[in-house]
């Protein structure tokens, strides 16, 4: 009888909690994200031509190579496209990396607008040649069109137009663009060091990373401004197994490849890293909740009840969503013997790790080291950096960005977002507390697929909005 009472009480409590959750959900009005670019064919076509010229200048960066001359050629393209920026702003060039200074009325809250010049290699068969800059079907095609020469074009164009109007910004403005972002080089770090030398501490840095994402989560439709507020850390790690080798006709147990395989299998098949929902991810779900259908809205509105369930199912629903709540490890490269009938004396597997704040670089690396030792493997960290400190999503700087988004893209809901990749903006963290990752262009499924893939493109109807965003952000520094 007592057990029955306990079970009945538990069921009753669950029903009460579910009722409270349903009432809370029903109290929140349903919303729709209605933003679409305003038709401005003349401006859009003009900006498309400029972006096309930038794409036609090939700027593939190669790790460790001095490619300054290649990027100086790109700078000459920028000078032709934006003559007022060239003539009226103070230019600094460091090994192909660019920094323009625009003196404002005040100097206590400098603004940095940034995005990179370099692009990744263009492999495979493309519908339009990767450096053609073709303008067709309402899009600019080519490597860098969306990642991220579109942003470079937009903030240079914003400055060009404001300079033509005789505008003086309320605060100092810096246009920053490195040429080593795609391989994690130190180009941006050199620009940051230059600002440090001048004693400049930016109030706000706006880089690429997030964007206006179409259908950001399954079941939520429309365009949403996803603003990245911190980046996960990252590391490249190599695991090595050794033996005395030998002929494959008489294999010994626990060969290097077998040990590596067992190690990879263990990590792939059992939870290794803790799952926890950062407050920025919780804020994202709450912001998106009104735009979801009832089941998803019920979950997102009531994280106090459904958080444990959500933490379990998110990685199954979406790899991107799963990466926002835990450290990840992806095995990417392997090597072993050079012949099928030879046992390797040494075999390796390499992995890329991404660190979440609640389980950062040191703790995450120690976990994989212990597992590697268990399988008789040596661990070598090739490169590593920890996560960046989050920008305060309740702070004045973030609210300013949100206000500018609302002003520029009416009907477009904004939300904080966790960057699972890496950008140059992490270098600015040491001199700036407010670093956001937001490219003000629309990334639909096609654009997301083309980034670092084939047929990269951007719909040029969104370019006027991108220019206006940077114009408005420059003006917002006055308040």
110 and 186 share a domain?
yes
Interhelix angle 294-301/279-288, nearest 10 degrees: 140
- Cα–Cα–Cα angle for 354, 203, 391, rounded to 5 degrees: 35
Residue 313: how many CB atoms within 10 A of its CB?
13
Give Cβ neighbours of residue 20 (< 8 Å, ≥ 6 apart): none
| 293 belongs to a structural domain | yes
- Gap between the Cα atoms of 354 and 442, Å rounded: 26
129 and 65 share a domain?
yes
Number of domains composing the chain: 2
Last residue of a domain, one of 333, 364, 385: 385
Give Cβ neighbours of residue 288 (< 8 Å, ≥ 6 apart): 216, 217, 220, 224, 300, 413, 415
- Gap between the Cα atoms of 259 and 240, Å rounded: 9
| 221 belongs to a structural domain | no
Query: Across-strand partners of 231?
Result: 419
313 and 206 share a domain?
no
Strand order in the sheet with 378-385: 328-335, 346-355, 233-242, 378-385
296 and 401 share a domain?
no
CATH number where 333 lies? 3.30.70.360
Last residue of a domain, one of 385, 400, 422: 385
- Gap between the Cα atoms of 62 and 118, Å rounded: 9
Using a 10 angstrom Cβ sphere, with 0-12 exposed, 13-18 middle and 19 or more buried, the burial of residue 451 is: middle
On whether the CB atoms of residues 126 and 143 are closer than 8 A, the answer is no
- Gap between the Cα atoms of 77 and 94, Å rounded: 17
77 and 202 share a domain?
yes
- Gap between the Cα atoms of 174 and 110, Å rounded: 8
Query: Does the bond joining 148 to the residue before it have cis omega, within 30 degrees of 0?
Result: yes
Q: Domain range holding 281? A: 233-385
Chain mean pLDDT for the chain: 92
| 3 belongs to a structural domain | no
From first to last of its 479 residues, the chain has per-residue pLDDT tens of: 677 666 666 676 677 777 777 788 888 889 889 999 999 999 999 999 999 999 999 999 999 888 999 999 999 999 999 999 999 999 999 999 999 999 999 999 999 999 999 999 999 999 999 999 999 999 999 999 999 999 999 999 999 999 999 999 999 999 999 999 999 899 999 999 999 999 999 999 999 989 999 998 878 899 999 999 999 999 999 999 998 877 677 777 788 999 999 999 999 998 899 999 999 999 999 999 999 988 888 989 999 888 998 898 888 877 888 899 999 999 999 998 888 988 889 999 999 999 999 999 999 999 999 999 999 999 999 999 999 999 999 999 999 999 999 999 999 988 998 988 889 999 999 999 999 999 999 999 999 898 889 999 999 999 999 999 999 999 999 86
- Gap between the Cα atoms of 298 and 22, Å rounded: 7
| 238 belongs to a structural domain | yes
The position carrying tokens 């401006």 is: 43
- Gap between the Cα atoms of 218 and 216, Å rounded: 7
| 304 belongs to a structural domain | yes
> What count of Cα atoms within 13 Å lies in the side-chain half-sphere of residue 251?
12
- Cα–Cα–Cα angle for 163, 205, 468, rounded to 5 degrees: 40
- Residues 270-293 pLDDT 10s: 889 999 999 999 999 999 999 998
367 and 463 share a domain?
no
| 16 belongs to a structural domain | no
On whether the CB atoms of residues 152 and 140 are closer than 8 A, the answer is no
104 and 206 share a domain?
yes
Task: Tell me phi and psi for residue 332, to 5 degrees.
Answer: -125, -25
On whether the CB atoms of residues 370 and 263 are closer than 8 A, the answer is no
331 and 469 share a domain?
no
142 and 265 share a domain?
no
Model-level pTM? Answer: 0.91
Give the CA dihedral 192, 198, 201, 207, nearest 10 degrees.
-30
61 and 206 share a domain?
yes
397 and 333 share a domain?
no
- Gap between the Cα atoms of 352 and 234, Å rounded: 7
Least Cα distance to 387 among 348, 335, 351, 429 occurs for 429
Task: Tell me phi and psi for residue 86, to 5 degrees.
Answer: -60, -45
Q: Which two tokens stand for residue 171?
A: 């605060």
Last residue of a domain, one of 353, 385, 417: 385
- Gap between the Cα atoms of 422 and 53, Å rounded: 27
172 and 157 share a domain?
yes
367-395 burial, b for 16+ CB within 10 Å, e for fewer? bbbebbeebebebeeeebebbbebbebee
CATH number where 450 lies? 3.40.630.10
Give Cβ neighbours of residue 231 (< 8 Å, ≥ 6 apart): 209, 387, 388, 419, 421, 422, 423, 425, 426, 437
| 30 belongs to a structural domain | no
- Gap between the Cα atoms of 18 and 13, Å rounded: 9
| 140 belongs to a structural domain | yes
């Amino acid at each position: 009888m007592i057990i029955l009472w306990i079970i009945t009480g538990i069921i009753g409590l669950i029903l009460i909690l579910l009722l409270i959750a349903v009432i809370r959900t029903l109290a929140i009005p349903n919303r729709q994200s209605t933003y679409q670019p305003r038709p401005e064919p003349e401006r859009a076509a003009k900006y498309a031509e400029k972006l096309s010229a930038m794409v036609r200048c090939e700027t593939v960066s190669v790790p460790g190579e001095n490619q300054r001359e290649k990027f100086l050629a790109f700078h000459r393209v920028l000078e032709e496209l934006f003559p007022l920026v060239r003539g009226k702003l103070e230019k600094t060039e460091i090994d192909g990396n660019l920094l323009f200074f625009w003196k404002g009325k005040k100097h206590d809250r400098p603004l940095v607008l940034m995005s990179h010049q370099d692009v990744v290699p263009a492999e495979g068969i493309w519908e339009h040649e990767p450096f053609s800059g073709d303008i067709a079907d309402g899009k600019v095609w080519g490597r860098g069109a969306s990642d991220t020469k579109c942003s470079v074009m937009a903030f240079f164009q914003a400055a060009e137009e404001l300079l033509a109007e005789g505008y003086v910004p309320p605060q100092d403005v810096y246009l920053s663009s490195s040429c080593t972002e795609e391989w994690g080089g130190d180009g941006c770090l050199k620009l940051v060091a230059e600002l440090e030398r001048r004693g400049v501490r930016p109030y706000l840095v706006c880089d690429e990373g997030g964007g206006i994402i179409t259908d950001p989560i399954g079941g939520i439709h429309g365009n949403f401004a996803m603003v990245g507020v911190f980046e996960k850390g990252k590391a490249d790690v190599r695991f090595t197994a050794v033996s005395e080798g030998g002929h494959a006709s008489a294999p010994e147990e626990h060969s290097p490849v077998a040990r590596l395989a067992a190690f990879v299998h263990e990590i792939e098949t059992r939870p290794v890293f803790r799952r926890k929902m950062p407050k920025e991810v919780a804020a994202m779900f709450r912001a998106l909740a009104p735009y979801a259908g009832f089941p998803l809205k019920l979950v997102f509105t009531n994280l106090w009840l459904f958080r444990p369930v959500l933490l379990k199912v998110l990685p199954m629903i979406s790899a991107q969503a799963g990466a926002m709540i835990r450290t990840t490890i992806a095995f990417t490269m392997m090597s072993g013997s050079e012949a099928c009938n030879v046992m390797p004396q040494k075999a390796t597997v390499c992995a890329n790790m991404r660190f979440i704040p609640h389980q950062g670089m040191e703790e995450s690396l120690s976990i994989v080291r212990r597992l590697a030792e268990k399988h008789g493997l040596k661990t070598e960290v090739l490169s590593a950096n920890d996560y960046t400190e989050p920008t305060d999503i309740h702070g004045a700087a973030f609210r300013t960005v949100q206000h500018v988004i609302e002003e520029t893209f009416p009907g477009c809901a904004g939300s904080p977002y966790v960057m699972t990749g890496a950008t140059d903006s992490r270098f600015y963290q040491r001199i700036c507390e407010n670093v956001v990752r937001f490219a003000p262009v629309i990334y639909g499924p096609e654009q997301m697929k083309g980034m670092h893939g084939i047929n990269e493109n951007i719909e040029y109807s969104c370019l006027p909005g991108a220019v206006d965003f940077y114009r408005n952000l420059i003006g917002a520094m006055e308040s």
